[in-house]
Each structure stands twice: as C-alpha cells, then as structure tokens.
C-alpha cells in the first residue's frame, strides 16, 4: 500500500499533515540522474570484544571465563544484580562468540537493501574503536565502507557511539561531550561527522546514545542541549543535519527532550524547533510500526531519526523519501514472546551464553534523494 493511500485511510490527509506531505512528495518526480543516500541507525546491544584491556576494562562481563577467574575474580561483580550479575559472574565470552556477534550485525547492515547496505550507519553500544575496526575489516571494508568514525566516551561502562560511511569525511569528526552535573559526570558523547554527498552539499550526521530511561529526564535534556548547539551551527552554515541514535526518550516525558526542545512538524518555523522527528511524523500517526524496543510488554520508540527542516523545503536538493522510512522487522530479527494471551513478535535480542540472536533494538532505515544539480 502506498504512503498516500495510508494517509487517506488514516484520516490525516486533509488535516495538519497535508502541507508536509505535499512538500515531501516532490521526491517522486526525480530524474534519471538523481541518486539516493541510504541511512541506518542500530543499537547493537553490548558489542564488546573478548580482549582484556586491563585498567581500561570498565565492564568485565565480556571476557573469557579463564581471564575472569585468573585476573579479575568475582569481586568485580559485587553490586550487580539479576541478569547483569549473571553475565559478570558466569558468561564465558570468547573470541568465537564475539566474531559470531559481529557477523550477525553485518548481516543486518548488509541485508536490508538487496545486500548492499546503507551508505551512512550510526551504531550504539560499542565497547571501543576495536570492535568497529573488526566489524569493518571482517565484513564491511570490501563493500565500499571507509574506516569507521569513533568516539571514546567517558561513560562508566565504556560504551560508545560510532559511524560507518561510504562517504569520506569533509573535515575531522567533532566530539560533543555531554556533561551531566557539576561533579564532572559525563554521559556518552554526541559524535558529529560531516560528509560532502555532492560537491556543493554537506550532510552532517550526529550519533546519539542519551542517558537511559532509568535516569531523570534532566539528564536527557542535557544531551538535547548539546545536540541543539550542533543543529543550530549547521543551520547557520546552511548544512543538512541528521541526528540518529538511541535517544532513550519516552513520549510521556515532560518536559520532553525531543518534542519540547528539538522537533515538531511546523515547516514554516525553522528556528523554534529546527528538526522533524520521523517517528512522530510517520510511524506513530499511521500505526504501522509498533516501535524499535520492547520492554516488559511495552513497545517504545527509543531509537529515532531527526531531520533538519531544510530537507523539507520545496527547493531542497536533498530530500527524504518518505516511503522508505522503516523500522526493520525481518523475520530473522524477531522472536516470539508469549504474554499469556497471545504470541507477539519482538526483537530477537542477543543471547550471549548461546551466541544466538541480534539485539534488543530494531534498526531504522531511511533513504534520502539527492537531486541532480
């Protein structure tokens, strides 16, 4: 079913979305010399290698049992509970299991678009640069991807964000630290990469992994403020800006770090809210995507794609292809969940003990249309 038919059936076509849809439908009048730029976002759920980094090893759960027993012992698991204690105390995380997880991530990246993969990919929950380098060297380098872009975040578990792209950087990547309080506590960095997708068009991409829902909303507002500065700078520079990642923001949060600070669907106001949240624009309105993350019987949209509003202007040379926006839900990414009433398909999260599955998040993909100049 085409996107316009979905809109008509939903009853929104004659409502507030009509001006937006008429604008973005311009993407269908492309000429043969137009081309696309594919985007993907994926929280890969604790991508840790099996190498002991000594004092830099902030989470000892993901090490071979022989190293844990000999060098770390179980005192490093004290204070952890439930599943996290089980991983710390009992997981035998070997090189074979690690490489199998890498292969599963590569399967997701390359498998969604006729085994070609998106051109720019944002990844979250990475232990270090090494895991990105291994993923690239083993599975992605021969597919045209360039050396990964990574930021070593100061978070207490040492999990980072990264970007993999077929486009070269037009300037060095920018790391935006997220300071949470006056005591020097930091969250994961916002990592910004700038690409020339054509000689005259710069696309800026920010990788995000905001503080978890277990933190107060104020922590995510700190991250939102950091991201907002990067967005405002892109606007001043006339660049297109995409923010992708795991924003860990629930729709009921107030004030909402996304919808009360960064994004709305008013295309005439480019400054108050400079971004458009694709999930609010499309997914939640049309109800054909439940979410990217499932927790205790509830779906949510923790993972987001935010686009600067200049993408949606009539004369834009870089436009979102609305029909291409999707939460990837191929059969291999899903498993059955039984809630006592019915069986539901939910993310097939990675089983670190059995080396099976993928992630507790589903990936997001979107195509941009680069108009001929």
Strand partners, 295: 298
pLDDT tens by residue, 169-186 = 999 999 999 999 988 899
pLDDT tens by residue, 320-353 = 998 899 999 899 999 998 765 668 899 999 999 9
* E strand map for 144-277: 149-151, 160-165, 174-179, 186-198, 201-209, 240-246, 275-277
Residue 108 contacts residue 151 (beta carbons within 8 Å): no
Going from the N-terminus, what domains does the chain have, and what CATH number goes with each? 3-50+94-370 (3.60.10.10), 54-88 (no CATH)
What single DSSP character describes residue 210?
Answer: P
Task: Count Cβ atoms below 10 Å from residue 339 Cβ, excluding itself.
Answer: 9
Strand partners, 175: 191
Residue 109 contacts residue 31 (beta carbons within 8 Å): no
Cα radius of gyration (the chain) = 21
* E strand map for the chain: 35-47, 120-126, 149-151, 160-165, 174-179, 186-198, 201-209, 240-246, 275-277, 293-295, 298-300, 303-308, 318-327, 334-338, 343-347, 364-370
Model pLDDT, residue 2: 40
Model pLDDT, residue 39: 97
Model confidence at 59: pLDDT above 90 = no
Query: Of all residues in the chain, what percent carry a pLDDT higher than 90?
Result: 69
Model confidence at 12: pLDDT above 70 = no
Model confidence at 370: pLDDT above 50 = yes
pLDDT tens by residue, 130-141 = 999 999 999 999
Q: What is the pTM of this model?
A: 0.90
Helix boundaries (H) for 136-216: none
Q: What are the angstrom distances between the C-alpha of 16 and each of 63, 195, 217, 315, 324?
A: 53, 33, 29, 21, 21
Model pLDDT, residue 101: 98
Model confidence at 25: pLDDT above 50 = no
Model pLDDT, residue 141: 97
pLDDT tens by residue, 290-314 = 899 999 889 999 999 999 999 999 9
pLDDT tens by residue, 236-288 = 999 999 999 999 999 899 999 999 999 998 988 999 999 999 988 885 555 55
| Among candidate residues 178, 121, 149, the one with its CA nearest the CA of residue 366 | 121
pLDDT tens by residue, 154-174 = 866 779 999 999 999 999 999
């Amino acid at each position: 079913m085409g996107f316009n038919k979905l809109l008509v059936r939903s009853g929104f076509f004659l409502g507030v979305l009509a001006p937006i849809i008429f604008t973005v439908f311009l993407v269908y009048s492309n000429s043969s010399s137009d081309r696309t730029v594919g985007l993907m976002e994926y929280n890969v759920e604790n991508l840790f290698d099996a190498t002991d980094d000594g004092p830099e090893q902030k989470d000892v759960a993901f090490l071979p049992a022989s190293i844990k027993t000999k060098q770390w012992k179980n005192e490093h698991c004290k204070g952890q509970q439930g599943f996290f204690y089980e991983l710390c105390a009992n997981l035998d995380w070997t090189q074979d299991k690690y490489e199998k997880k890498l292969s599963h991530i590569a399967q997701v990246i390359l498998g969604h678009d006729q085994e070609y993969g998106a051109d720019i990919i944002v990844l979250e929950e990475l232990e270090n640069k090494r895991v990105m380098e291994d993923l690239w060297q083993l599975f992605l380098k021969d597919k045209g991807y360039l050396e990964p872009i990574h930021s070593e975040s100061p978070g207490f578990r040492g999990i980072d964000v990264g970007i993999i792209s077929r486009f070269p950087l037009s300037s060095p990547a920018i790391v935006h630290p997220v300071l949470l309080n006056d005591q020097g506590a930091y969250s994961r960095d916002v990592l910004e990469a700038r690409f020339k997708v054509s000689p005259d068009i710069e696309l800026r991409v920010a990788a995000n992994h905001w503080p978890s829902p277990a933190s107060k909303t104020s922590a995510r507002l700190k991250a939102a403020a950091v991201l907002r500065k990067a967005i405002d700078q892109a606007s001043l520079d006339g660049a297109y800006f995409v923010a992708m990642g795991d924003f860990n923001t629930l729709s009921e949060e107030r004030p909402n770090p996304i919808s009360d600070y960064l994004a709305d669907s008013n295309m005439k106001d480019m400054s108050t809210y400079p971004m458009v949240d694709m999930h609010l624009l499309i997914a939640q309105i049309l109800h054909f995507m439940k979410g990217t993350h499932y927790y205790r019987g509830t779906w949510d949209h923790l993972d987001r794609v935010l686009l600067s509003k200049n993408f949606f202007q009539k004369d834009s040379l870089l436009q979102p292809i609305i029909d291409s926006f999707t939460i990837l839900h191929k059969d291999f990414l899903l498993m059955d969940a039984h809630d006592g009433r019915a069986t539901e398909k939910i993310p097939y999260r990675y089983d670190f003990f059995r080396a099976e599955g993928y992630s507790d998040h589903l990936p997001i993909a979107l195509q941009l249309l680069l108009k001929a100049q």
